[in-house]
Amino acid sequence: MLLSSMDGTSADAVSGLLRVLFSDAKTTFDPTYGNGNFWNETQPTYAADILPARARQIVADYRALPLAARSVDVVIFDPPFQPSTSRRQAGERELRFTHVVGGVAGVRASIEVGLRECARVARLGLIVKVQDYIHDHKPVWMSRWVWETLGDPYDFLTLRLQCPKMRASNWKDQRSVWRNHSTFWVYRWRSLR
């Protein structure tokens, strides 16, 4: 049984969502593979990363995927969510998925382009992982960005992380609710039969 809220790992969430909402999928694609945290005993049919050392099959930027339209059944997208704090020009460090230049506006623009690109290559649908949070005393509603780009989702899952909250060394006083969960928004283009 898969409930709308669960404790576990991203791999647990992805496995459950694929089993329940995409049981008809033959191919899966992870355009931000990174360290493979979305996968446990199963692996995506195709996986890409912008860094060659982490790319399983494809070296690619999720904003310009080298795949044909509707070429994979389900895309599982874990976009970057933290803007770069570096003052340097964009280099390899900033190209990593956790360090997007341009502040929160840069992160949003990157995610919106990535959402459209992932939707383009997905035949059955898309799973998008986001985390809404407070940055520099302002809310960052990533869920809203997803909805404004793709429309209303078909379903969702909230994942509560089992690990303790990571804290930056400069966080002295708590001034907002610290997030210990992520939301997986599910877009299903074709109905299950």
**pLDDT score for 192:** 62
H or E stretch at 2: none
**pLDDT score for 138:** 83
Quick check: is 193 in a domain?
no
Quick check: is 25 in a domain?
yes
DSSP lists the bridge partners of residue 160 as: 7, 181
User: What's the rounded Cα separation, in Å, for the pair 48 and 33?
Assistant: 6
User: What's the rounded Cα separation, in Å, for the pair 13 and 158?
Assistant: 9
Quick check: is 110 in a domain?
yes
Quick check: is 51 in a domain?
yes
For the chain, the domain total comes to 1
From the list 147, 145, 157, the residue with the least C-alpha distance to 22 is: 157
**pLDDT score for 81:** 67
Quick check: is 171 in a domain?
no
- Mean pLDDT per 10-residue interval, the chain, length 193 residues: 91 95 96 90 90 90 96 94 52 45 83 96 96 80 95 95 62 65 90 62
Residue 125 is given by DSSP the state: E
User: What's the rounded Cα separation, in Å, for the pair 52 and 49?
Assistant: 7
Structure tokens given for 159: 């994942």
Quick check: is 84 in a domain?
yes
Structural domain containing residue 38: 5-164+177-188
**pLDDT score for 177:** 63
User: What's the rounded Cα separation, in Å, for the pair 36 and 47?
Assistant: 9
Quick check: is 105 in a domain?
yes
Other C-beta atoms within 10 Å of 87: how many?
Answer: 6
> What is the CB-side half-sphere exposure of residue 23 using CA atoms within 13 A?
6
CATH number (domain holding residue 67): 3.40.50.150
**pLDDT score for 92:** 43
Quick check: is 169 in a domain?
no
